Amino acid sequence: MRVYNFAAGPSTLPVEVLEEAQRDFLDYNGTGMSITEMSHRSKPFMAVNDEAQALLRELMNIPDDYAVLFVQGGASQQFAAVPLNLMVNGKADYIVTGNFAGKAQEEATKYGDAAIAASSKDKNFTYIPDMKNVKFRDGIDYVHITSNNTIYGTRYTALPETAAPLVSDMSSNILSEVVDVKKFGLIYAGAQKNVAPAGVTIVIVKRALLGRHKAFCPTMLRYDIQDKNNSLYNTPPCFSIYMAMLVLRRLKKLGGVKAMQEVNEYKAKLLYDCIDSSSLYKNYVNKADRSLMNVPFVTGSEELDAKFVKEAAEHGLVSLKGHRLVGGMRASIYNAMPVEGVKALVEFMKKFELENK
Ligand SMILES: *Cc1c(COP(=O)(O)O)cnc(C)c1O
């Protein structure tokens, strides 16, 4: 029996996609072998690689002067790859809105002057700083933001005002809402939240920014080399790319990112309305900055939180324990979480509140 899995990452995948992968697992497209067993330079795999990229370009409306790369090492590897490739003048500004944003900034200090232009640490990352008030230094190579903060449940609804290239970690909200790629110099995202199983990391980068990497940048981290080789410089994470292709095909069939955004807004509203109308649950995030993907909430009692997580699991609603930095509960409701899953959670929350008055 399938459960409703609210894990923050790796996270739930669409059942139809899992079933299709299962059907094709022993014999992919009449090749007599699994997609995981064939050369990454074979025709069938190259077709998968190309289709995944083409679908991503179509769904996100990515202009031709941007490279789309499928790399490894997770989003965390990009914390280093970004400064190694883009910190041409040795200076970048970071907005720190959570744990991963802080890690990205810290990693960048190894390669240059990576300053914190703004932070929401003063209120335990429960808000996104007002972009109108954030000032950046002259001569910076880029501004780095984290568009959705997976642990704290916040998201950007406005972008920083800067002439420098904008770099965004979109690991937990890529393809969940419409974004204008042209406004960014670089977007990166680990796949394991909204796109595919862990293993592949998506990098979308303006080609004009390439080729100016630091001399000591590892070959594998060079965007220009990955671009020239169509992400096949070495063996890629073939299975994850194949799964990404299936997920992207499904997303296209469902009407694309705009249609998905509408469903995501609906799901998030169901959950926030339940929290806001209850006297038991609280979400501490500034309302305007609430994430559509990650919804943290608490009861105010650690004991009751633990009881909630345990009893929810008994109802087939799993992985609801909050991140250790925040405590309480967190429901991650990515693209693949069906509306019925959120409705089941809301129903359980109401029942639990009645029983624990
Ligand atoms: C999960 C996550 C990461 C870390 O991703 P890895 O692929 O495990 O390195 C980084 N940033 C954000 C916003 C995330 O949600």
Q: Does residue 171's CB lie within 6 angstroms of at least one atom of ligand 1?
A: yes
Q: Does residue 42's CB lie within 6 angstroms of at least one atom of ligand 1?
A: no
271 within a domain of the structure (yes/no)? yes
Picking from 253, 269, 292, the residue at the C-terminal end of a domain is 253
How far, in Å, from the CA of 277 to the mean position of ligand 1?
Answer: 32
Strand pairing category for 91-96 and 142-146: parallel
Residues 205 and 320 in one domain: no
5 within a domain of the structure (yes/no)? no
2 within a domain of the structure (yes/no)? no
3-state SS, one letter per residue, for the chain: CCCEECCCCCCCCCHHHHHHHHHCCCCCCCCCCCHHHCCCCCHHHHHHHHHHHHHHHHHHCCCCCEEEEEECCHHHHHHHHHHHHHCCCCEEEEEECCHHHHHHHHHHCCCCEEEEEEECHHHCCCCCCCHHHCCCCCCCCEEEEECEECCCCEECCCCCCCCCCEEEECCCCCCCCCCCHHHCCEEEEECCCCCCCCCCEEEEEEHHHCCCCCCCCCHHHCHHHHHHCCCCCCCCCHHHHHHHHHHHHHHHHCCHHHHHHHHHHHHHHHHHHHHHCCCCCECCCCHHHECCCEEEEECCCHHHHHHHHHHHHHCCEECCECCCCCCCEEEECCCCCCHHHHHHHHHHHHHHHHHCC
Residues 247 and 266 in one domain: no
Residues 186 and 310 in one domain: no
Residues 186 and 329 in one domain: no
- Which contacts of 296-301 are long-range, i.e. CB under 8 A and separated by 24 or more positions? 296/151, 296/152, 296/153, 296/322, 296/323, 296/326, 296/328, 296/329, 296/330, 297/328, 297/329, 297/330, 297/331, 298/322, 298/327, 298/328, 298/329, 299/328, 299/356
Give the domain CATH number at 327.
3.90.1150.10
Q: Does residue 176's CB lie within 6 angstroms of at least one atom of ligand 1?
A: no
> Does 44 sit behind a cis peptide bond, omega within 30 degrees of 0 on the bond before it?
no
Residues 244 and 281 in one domain: no
**Nearest atom within ligand 1 for CA of residue 148:** 13
Picking from 212, 234, 253, the residue at the C-terminal end of a domain is 253
Q: Does residue 146's CB lie within 6 angstroms of at least one atom of ligand 1?
A: yes
Where do we find the tokens 């050369």?
39
Picking from 221, 238, 253, the residue at the C-terminal end of a domain is 253
79 within a domain of the structure (yes/no)? yes
Instruction: Pick the residue whose CA is nearest to atom 8 on ligand 1.
Output: 74
Contact 334, 13 (CB under 8 A): no
Q: Does residue 173's CB lie within 6 angstroms of at least one atom of ligand 1?
A: no
Q: Does residue 142's CB lie within 6 angstroms of at least one atom of ligand 1?
A: no
Residues 144 and 291 in one domain: no
Q: Does residue 168's CB lie within 6 angstroms of at least one atom of ligand 1?
A: no
162 within a domain of the structure (yes/no)? yes
Q: Does residue 78's CB lie within 6 angstroms of at least one atom of ligand 1?
A: no
Residues 146 and 236 in one domain: yes
What's the predicted TM-score (pTM) here? Answer: 0.98
Task: Give the pLDDT score at 1.
Answer: 87
Residues 125 and 241 in one domain: yes
Give the domain CATH number at 42.
3.40.640.10
**Nearest atom within ligand 1 for CA of residue 146:** 13
How far, in Å, from the CA of 74 to the mean position of ligand 1?
Answer: 7
Residues 215 and 262 in one domain: no
How far, in Å, from the CA of 20 to the mean position of ligand 1?
Answer: 27
Residues 184 and 314 in one domain: no
Residue of 43, 172, 204 whose CA lies nearest to 99: 172
Residues 27 and 175 in one domain: yes
144 within a domain of the structure (yes/no)? yes
Best substitution site from 171, 193, 195 to test ligand 1's pocket, by max atoms within 8 Å of Cβ? 171
**Nearest atom within ligand 1 for CA of residue 201:** 7
How far, in Å, from the CA of 351 to the mean position of ligand 1?
Answer: 33
Residues 245 and 271 in one domain: no
10 within a domain of the structure (yes/no)? no
Instruction: Pick the residue whose CA is nearest to atom 2 on ligand 1.
Output: 171
pLDDT tens digits along 31-70? 999 999 999 999 999 999 999 999 999 999 999 999 999 9
Task: Give the pLDDT score at 357.
Answer: 84
- Domain residues for 40? 15-253
Best substitution site from 147, 172, 332 to test ligand 1's pocket, by max atoms within 8 Å of Cβ? 172
Torsion of CA 236, 82, 157, 282, to 10 degrees: 80
6 within a domain of the structure (yes/no)? no
Q: How many domains does the chain have?
A: 2
- Residues in the chain where the model's pLDDT stays below 70: none
Q: Does residue 76's CB lie within 6 angstroms of at least one atom of ligand 1?
A: yes
Best substitution site from 11, 70, 71, 76 to test ligand 1's pocket, by max atoms within 8 Å of Cβ? 76
